[in-house]
Structure 1
């Protein structure tokens, strides 16, 4: 690899934008990374986090060799061992646990550290290996499952409008989403719409940086979004602007849903949501008389007890207004439902059915597990009820393997740590959940030290365990060919050769794309309105004593990725909790004062920031900080209850009541 090369790749991180990037390589070293200017969604720009990605790959604390624990669990004390030693120990322990306790005592726990179809969670990396072993299945339900389940019940799919078509909208509702922090490339299309007269409304409990840039910010009580949706539709009905033709041709259950809407007049909705009645009515009037209306609702909006119902009801709005028939109208939650690569989970390799363990239930389910094998995840920093998880991970009878880039809190509790490649060092196939492009990631450099890719790791483990199933040893290119051979019309003409040459290809969807103009992928072909009494589920925190805690995305961390980056940690400063002046005064708290944020689950420490960015009754503290780098050794997940949302066993990160107590 001599000379100067421009290598096309893709960002693997948990963000809807899945950027195309270009890495400049000189004499085998990556010296520059930039957003691909030729890719229509990336448009040459990366985010503040990924701009430091090359620096991150060369960080001083990067794990480069296999490690074995030498001190107590959690101490982070390890010794370097060889790959042969690591594989021998893992293979022996896996076989022993499977023989003594059954394969289901093994939990392959993977997260969204990479959204790759080869190396990451989208392709369920390692599933073939775990099926041959008979391990428990892993349900990655932590991020979006409640909302996806709700959308499927209404539309038959979680896939919605093409975000690029926001440029054609005349009313844009950014509903429970902080676009400029969690997927800023959409903003370019919003700006195009505004230049053409569109009105932009941010509906969010927090006045975020996106809300600052919107034409209007509506501060809603957390978890009451479905009630607001019904109130807006109540105004639409009062104005008589529902699309009767669309309703008759493409929906079912309208008569009953209409009666449900009538139960939510503006005044009642104002009481539920905390939004002034005149604001609800004003937005309802805009919705009633503006076509097309585009709604962006992402994952934060559904992390409460009624999260599935929330998306189910919001998705009904364009069914009533007929916005689904217009390019630039509808709801954009995730485009994943439009991706039809051929993920082969090979359940035929299972000797018998096995249980499925939900990742949000790690704290309670870990007691029944003898081996926890973690990759692409940092559960001690990112999963609910982290105190109980820490207690379980301290068990000496729990054999824990962590595949990692850096010494996270989770890696500190491992028995064996394995060094993983990063995105510039392996190949992968990607599809954004915020656009309609497939992207190829070509490795730009050789892996440092003894790092190996996830696919290579499982090939090595299969060989060491004496497994003979041929598909366990498929190469990365063979796996990629299989993924692209699904035969779905959206992949017509999309070949691996083309992807490797061009870096990205738009799937075969028209532009503009109105996915439900002529029907829905439901059994009846129609949108299914929520049944009576099922259009609004209050949050568990409703009426509870205390303050509702929101844990929004950080602008400098992506989940817990980059949580060890010195510059980004400097920018993040000390942990803060935003507190309304009225709530601070009632508790005798002053600006900058350090407090315990606590409930029955646990506590974390933060500095008070008195702010009108949150309403009375709501406090906010960003997620993403590693516990080991936080005062008191805990982040907000210490106070998050291990409960399920109404659908999909979704997490309830934004449905927790806390109190604030000043440190003595």
Structure 2
């Protein structure tokens, strides 16, 4: 038997897959050949997904902590015992501190609308309790906000249209590691490709050209390229007149960013800036792919604002194969309001930021956070300021429930651990943020042990607490029907995927000058915001690993073997100045914390920059990872994270 499903992981490709089942056991997993983006191929990580599903290390039963927080010692208990303890503790917290003292902490371990972060699984339950809201600031939020100020939407171009491009700028993105299906459309195009990245990545190696600006200077580079274009008289005057607002003001701003000034800011040679600007000026259509990494710094939202302006000046937004792709999530018309049911909140409540977790858990707010529900997340491994997050989770007065598949670093700090189903074991709906397809996931096999889906867990918990709101007991099928109102649900279920139509710019015009940005207290005109880390040393980039996906797969033995020991790549000039040789054990540190690594001396990074990868677990990395050095500090827009706005010192250990 073959069952259609979808990858739930935090990747733009949201692959459609096929699970082969024999005698109730999933024996094969392959990409769906019929899906126009998946085209039958999965990534090196997800090819091992069934190993995760069948792993002997998987959590199969509810557990209660018996040791100190952080020790990871638990005893097996029944579901009734787990539900009773959770019910009593939540009831007690609400009685003493109110519902806002409960924090449902959603991660991106699943992007499912029913079981994962996209639908804030369990939000109806937490609304009835009056719990605090959770804001997912770890990923793309600053860039989304920036695009909305320019375009009114974060949707951007259809990624399949890259096949029609003649020039492609891969700006701060490494699709060969993170979202490799886009590369097929790039290959189909035959376009000249330029990688813009402080690190020479696997993708850079396949491009025609690589530019390595200093991290966080992307907006300045884009303005410098626009300066070249306008100096050549290559702006599309007809498009500017008919489809944009504020061009005269923006043109003055562009004039401020001469190639010479931009060279000083970015660390790039003037001639490289001029040459790329001239290439863009004479090549239609030009497309830009920018991903989440490039906006994880102080000026990340502004950087996306400026990048979205570039195809407005050249008129590429009007040409198939032209424009910018960041995240297609803005194109999906799903009934999130019906799914979330925010009307069930008895009163307005506060919002807690995902990437300010340490701060929130250690704060003396009224009310303090007294109960934490961690769903599809591993904040010890994934959040900034690792030491503060651990300190907060170690509070004995904090009641923590973790719903998980494996004994992550965060599980070690739980009071109750609940066994969660994995993707082949439950119903879910996915929407790609790297394409325009809804993807359906049917359960293929029964869950092992006593694992329950997120939806079923909250149905049982609501029943155990005696909650009477009917919406808390909707089945998965009913939730899917409510979410997908207006879509062809029968076709989606039978074919496994369904393409949606792109959403137009709401105002119909690109906003060079944004009144919405000004009302929000931001600069109305796109500009350049420099990095903000006040520390000294090298700028540290912690990009995605080829073998982990965030911290998912961080415990997979084979993928850990392939990833090797934690390494930090340093340019030969910096290595000489620091008296470091290739293979030297080093300590990477700043005022926030430190982690151990092995130096790799290579010109794959530019001078002034060091590079490592994220996704490792603390317990497998000598007690700390790169996130020990990263600040709980916000980007310019909407509280986005600043993982790449981070300076460190590197010393021999």
> Normalising TM by the smaller chain, what interval?
over 0.9
User: Residue 190 in 1 paired to residue 186 in 2?
Assistant: yes
- The residue aligned with 1:636 is 626
- The residue aligned with 1:12 is 8
- The residue aligned with 2:543 is 552
Q: Distance in 1 between matches of 2:406 and 2:480?
A: 28
User: Residue 226 in 1 paired to residue 256 in 2?
Assistant: no
Kindly indicate whether the alpha-carbon contact (under 8 Å) linking 2:250 and 2:512 is maintained by their aligned counterparts in 1.
no
Q: Distance in 2 between matches of 1:87 and 1:380?
A: 25
Shift of 1:268: 0.7
Q: Distance in 2 between matches of 1:436 and 1:221?
A: 32
3-state SS, counterpart of residue 249 of structure 1: helix
Q: Distance in 2 between matches of 1:380 and 1:339?
A: 32
User: Residue 313 in 1 paired to residue 306 in 2?
Assistant: yes
Kindly indicate whether the alpha-carbon contact (under 8 Å) linking 1:251 and 1:529 is maintained by their aligned counterparts in 2.
no
- The residue aligned with 1:654 is 644
Q: Distance in 2 between matches of 1:346 and 1:482?
A: 11
Kindly indicate whether the alpha-carbon contact (under 8 Å) linking 1:640 and 1:656 is maintained by their aligned counterparts in 2.
yes
User: Residue 417 in 1 paired to residue 410 in 2?
Assistant: no
Kindly indicate whether the alpha-carbon contact (under 8 Å) linking 2:538 and 2:608 is maintained by their aligned counterparts in 1.
yes
Q: Distance in 2 between matches of 1:646 and 1:380?
A: 24
User: Residue 349 in 1 paired to residue 364 in 2?
Assistant: no
Kindly indicate whether the alpha-carbon contact (under 8 Å) linking 2:512 and 2:526 is maintained by their aligned counterparts in 1.
no
Larger mean CA deviation between 574-583 and 343-352 belongs to: 343-352
Gaps of 5+ in 1: 510-514
Give the 4+ runs in structure 1 shifted more than 2 A: 524-534
Q: Distance in 2 between matches of 1:162 and 1:499?
A: 20
Q: Distance in 2 between matches of 1:581 and 1:129?
A: 55
User: Residue 116 in 1 paired to residue 82 in 2?
Assistant: no
3-state SS, counterpart of residue 457 of structure 1: helix
Please show how residues 452-467 of structure 1 align to structure 2 within 5 Å. Answer: 452-467=452-467
Kindly indicate whether the alpha-carbon contact (under 8 Å) linking 1:257 and 1:532 is maintained by their aligned counterparts in 2.
no
Shift of 1:532: 6.5
Q: Distance in 2 between matches of 1:230 and 1:218?
A: 15
User: Residue 618 in 1 paired to residue 614 in 2?
Assistant: no
Q: Deviations over 1:297-342 (max 9, x none)?
A: 0000000000000000000001111000001000000000001111
TM-score with structure 2 length normalisation? 0.97
Kindly indicate whether the alpha-carbon contact (under 8 Å) linking 2:227 and 2:255 is maintained by their aligned counterparts in 1.
yes
User: Residue 255 in 1 paired to residue 240 in 2?
Assistant: no
- The residue aligned with 2:274 is 281
User: Residue 402 in 1 paired to residue 415 in 2?
Assistant: no
Q: Distance in 2 between matches of 1:176 and 1:229?
A: 12
Larger mean CA deviation between 497-506 and 640-649 belongs to: 497-506
Kindly indicate whether the alpha-carbon contact (under 8 Å) linking 2:429 and 2:480 is maintained by their aligned counterparts in 1.
yes
3-state SS, counterpart of residue 72 of structure 2: coil
- The residue aligned with 2:357 is 362
- The residue aligned with 1:577 is 568
- The residue aligned with 1:267 is 260
Q: Distance in 2 between matches of 1:113 and 1:294?
A: 30
Please show how residues 54-93 of structure 1 align to structure 2 within 5 Å. Answer: 54-93=50-89
Kindly indicate whether the alpha-carbon contact (under 8 Å) linking 2:13 and 2:432 is maintained by their aligned counterparts in 1.
yes
- The residue aligned with 2:443 is 443
Q: Distance in 1 between matches of 2:31 and 2:475?
A: 28
TM-score with structure 1 length normalisation? 0.95
Q: Distance in 2 between matches of 1:240 and 1:266?
A: 16
Q: Deviations over 1:451-478 (max 9, x none)?
A: 0000001101110111000010000000
User: Residue 36 in 1 paired to residue 32 in 2?
Assistant: yes
Kindly indicate whether the alpha-carbon contact (under 8 Å) linking 2:37 and 2:435 is maintained by their aligned counterparts in 1.
yes
Shift of 1:661: 1.0
Change (3 A) 1:534 1:324: closer
